[in-house]
Amino acid sequence: MAAVARGRWLPRAWLCRRAGPGCGRHYRAALCAELKQPLAIKEVASRPVRPHEVRVDVHFCGVNFADILVCRGQYQEKPQLPFTPGMEFSGTVLETGTDVSIVKEVLWQIPERVPLREAAALPVSYGTAVLALEHRARTRPGETVLVTAAAGATGLAVIDVATNVLQAQVFVIAAAGSDEKCKLAMQKGAQSTVNYSQGSLKEAVRKLVGSAGVNVAIDTVGGDVFLEALRSLAWEGRIVVVGFAGGNIASVPANLLLLKNISAMGLYWGRYKEQSFPVFSRTLSSALQYCQQGRIQPHIGAVFKLEEVNDAFLHVIQRKSTGKVLISLK
């Protein structure tokens, strides 16, 4: 979990602070008590803050496809039941434990010019986008970047970072499953689009850039879309595997890697927190800084109330979402 807050310290759960009388006695929480079943909104008794903990008044929570997989038992991380799903939120520090002075392992301070709503949309999507483009693919000036599921939260974040942060004449091709989503990707900065529900992604990309192909592909879909993106790469191209929103995990044809000297690499942003925390921290700090400077603007496609959390999940499952989906606790 990664979170941002008005303050300096670290929260430990995705819970909302109840306003009004009784505040501090109970919380409302979206609990997963049984896998593959709807979440239940429960009252959770408060307890004293332990020496190493912090209490946060949560304002907004981000909804990610990975949250849904966790609640289905299909994610690489399997928390013990019952649990509260969630990977990112924004809020305000209320109380700190006696041993807390300035902890920056899971909580980052929100700059004053960044609204709490936008801040909640940054950690996973923009942390992934920054890491994919700058650290993994090492995108260079003048290169062409292909983004699949381009109207999703991560896809739009990649477009935003590539066009407004890298600022190195990077040509972005946005690939999505509908004309409406392609239009949104263009509005957010992509130079060209491909609707891969209407035919071959590889052939459409070839018409745009010729037989040379694209230098970088960022794929969150998997399956046939991944394979088409892989076959669209240029000599010494790099493809970054971010997820499998399409539900299928493709096998990598190693002969393609050999013939074009292609690099295929994975990106699990959250794992960097344990394996390489400085890299993990730098991506989120960079996203906050870019947002403060007005260089990026997260697209928030829908906001649901906590009581509507299952509707929010369904909105994502049915592929109706564009950009980030949030849960509002206020």
| Residue entry with tokens 């997260």 | 298
Give the tokens for residue 10.
């670290």
pLDDT confidence of residue 54:
86
Task: Decide: 322 and 152 in contact? Cβ < 8 Å.
Answer: yes
Measured distance CA(114)–CA(318) in Å, rounded: 30
Give the tokens for residue 95.
């109380």
Range ranked top by mean pLDDT from 101-110, 162-171, 182-191: 182-191
Please write the tens of the pLDDT for every residue from 129-184.
Answer: 999 999 999 999 899 999 999 999 999 999 999 999 986 678 999 999 999 999 99
Please give the domain boundaries of the chain with CATH numbers for all domains.
2-121+299-328 (3.90.180.10), 125-270 (3.40.50.720)
Please write the tens of the pLDDT for every residue from 195-241.
Answer: 999 999 999 999 999 989 999 999 999 999 999 999 999 999 999 99
Please write the tens of the pLDDT for every residue from 277-322.
Answer: 999 999 999 999 999 999 999 999 999 999 999 999 999 999 899 9
CB atoms within 10 A of CB 112: 8
What strands, in cross-sheet order, belong to the sheet with 192-195? 192-195, 171-176, 144-147, 214-219, 233-241, 263-266
pLDDT confidence of residue 1:
62
Please report, as a single letter, which amino acid is at residue 143. Answer: E
Judge whether residue 104 has pLDDT over 90: no
pLDDT confidence of residue 53:
86
Give the tokens for residue 136.
């993994």
pLDDT confidence of residue 310:
97
pLDDT confidence of residue 103:
53
Confidence (pTM): 0.91
pLDDT confidence of residue 19:
35
Based on its alpha-carbon atoms, the radius of gyration of the chain, rounded to whole angstroms, reads: 20
Please write the tens of the pLDDT for every residue from 269-278.
Answer: 989 999 999 9
Judge whether residue 4 has pLDDT over 70: no
Judge whether residue 17 has pLDDT over 50: no
Better-predicted residue by pLDDT, 315 or 9: 315
